[in-house]
Structure 1
Amino acid sequence: MTAAVDIHEAVKRYGSVTALHRVDLSISDNEFFTLLGPSGCGKTTLLRMIAGFEDVTEGEVRLFGENIARLEPNRRPVNTVFQHYALFPHMTVIENVAFGLKMKGVDAATRRGRAGRMLDMVHLSAFADRMPDQLSGGQQQRVALARALAPEPKVLLLDEPLSALDLKLRQAMRVELKQLQQDTGITFIFVTHDQEEALTMSDRIAVMSEGRVQQVGTARDIYEAPVNRFVADFIGETNLLEVDVARVEGGTAEVVLPGGHRITCPSATTAPGRHHLSIRPERISLSAEADLTATVDRVVYLGTDLQVMVRLEGGTPFSLRMQNAARVSPPEPGATVGLHLEEGAARLLAD
């Protein structure tokens, strides 16, 4: 598969502070690729290096094989959609969308035709002659997307473009963004700190922390098979238990749980000893055939399901999810319960 963007040994320093530590990534053509991580992890810095807004201290950034690390931003075949839409308030919607084409010297008829097609794509043709202040936040975001797509960039960079929208609009725009990427065939590189956004839209995700890429994979890979504590804890909810590892062989570990029960599970480490185990709350059920014994602290109503907060022997906090159904009777606070782990529910982490 053709690589749209290749990042090799990329380093970014600001004086004595290193924001990115020798980052290596290969992003395929026509891929929806997400850079995910908390504030300060380096994801926006990396995006700005691809765009040309930040210099590369060391390493290479290649676009379809060409090293663009020293190429000026306006000469790169990429476009950026920012968190703040930055629409021109004195221009109509269609004039905003056509602006980039005008700067490239495209004739009036051609740019109006292409801008019109972009507005069709984002379902805003009926708003072509309105001013930006006559649009909702979600509509303004779609105009910004249409404006970025109009010059037909090879790569579209999106820097947390949904963060200013309310929950319902964000959910709707996720679907639209993914559909736009598939319809245009353009490589999308999306920056977010929102795990749900990343999981629902991405072909692949790079999880970042402290200027380093921790793991790259599909949403299922990242969620089901995290490589370390940071990834396991950052993506969704998980229970992290410190456990003794008796044996590791062929990617499978024998683990001693609190209370002495032994299980086998997939392992991201090859070394016996003291390690952390990740167990997702939805992969645990109440059962008399228990892998763990716990005391119920409280039950939290979440609408579609119930979160049962418990404490294991020794006082370690732990949680599980139960479906909210008429037939389900949640346990009472103070009750002693047995917890059963689904097969494959636990994963031993590298650190």
Structure 2
Amino acid sequence: MGVSLFWRMFMSNALVLAIAAALLIGPWVTVSSPVLLREALVIGGGLTAMLAANALLFRVGLAPLERLTKAMADANLLEPGLRARVTGHGELAQLTDTFNVMLGRLESERAASSGRVLSAQESERRRVARELHDEVGQTLTVVILQFKSLADRVPKDLREDVVTAQETVRDSLDEVRRIARRLRPGVLEDLGLASALRALVLEFAAPGVTVTHQVDASLPALGGQAELVLYRVAQEAMTNAARHSQASTISLGLRSAGECTVELIVRDDGQGLHGTKEGAGLLGMRERALLLGATLTLTSGDPRGTTVRLRVPLPKDGAV
């Protein structure tokens, strides 16, 4: 084991004081009474040299602690993989190594807890979507049929109002079904990720907004969890672009980026992220990326536009 920080600092100061004492005891420096100007200058210069030497020694000795402090301040469990650099030996090296081990354990626990939370969220989404479809949807369908029957029996001067109410309920039914599809993407489960992303793009097509997509036909095999994460991140990114960025063009791309990586890219020409704080949506995307050990980056163009990029690593067997 190396010399402890205490003894390194103690011996450094002892060495400086020993040199100063040797100079005073030896014939090189004498002190008169009263002190002469020349002697005062020598003593002042010696004191300045001692302080400079102490400052340099403390700076060198405490540099690893400063690096560790910066690493602690920069640590972010939503951006795993960052570690403090272990330098030197002794107590500070052990402290840095212990911090890295602790950070790795916290990242693993955060990923596990995020997985449980997201799994519970998806289960709740499926339950709510099923109730919207089976309960609310059926009730609204019955109301539409009742309005249709009523429209055939009411006087002509009231028929238009009944038909208007019927169309309002029909629009509400379409909205309930749309919400249910967003909560539980049945097309993802039935037809796979490529078809689900194409359907997602169609949902965001609107007057004044051009939405395009390009999905690589030769994607490697993906597991259900990876497909769900990619779909949810794409859904959130396109929702942000459509609702908050005032974009006129939105593009979605999914491609292979090497043999063991799949990359999702969502771009828009909106107002960008300049000065925007990350909300629950962006935090949710980072949580999902953490679940797969993926890398999520958000960049703003100059002066406009936002790019959301999710790189999902695949294991050697090609499934997640």
TM-score by length of 1: 0.24
Between structures 1 and 2, the one with greater strand share: 1
Between structures 1 and 2, the one with greater helix share: 2
More contact order relative to length (CA 8 Å, sep ≥ 6): 1
TM-score by length of 2: 0.26
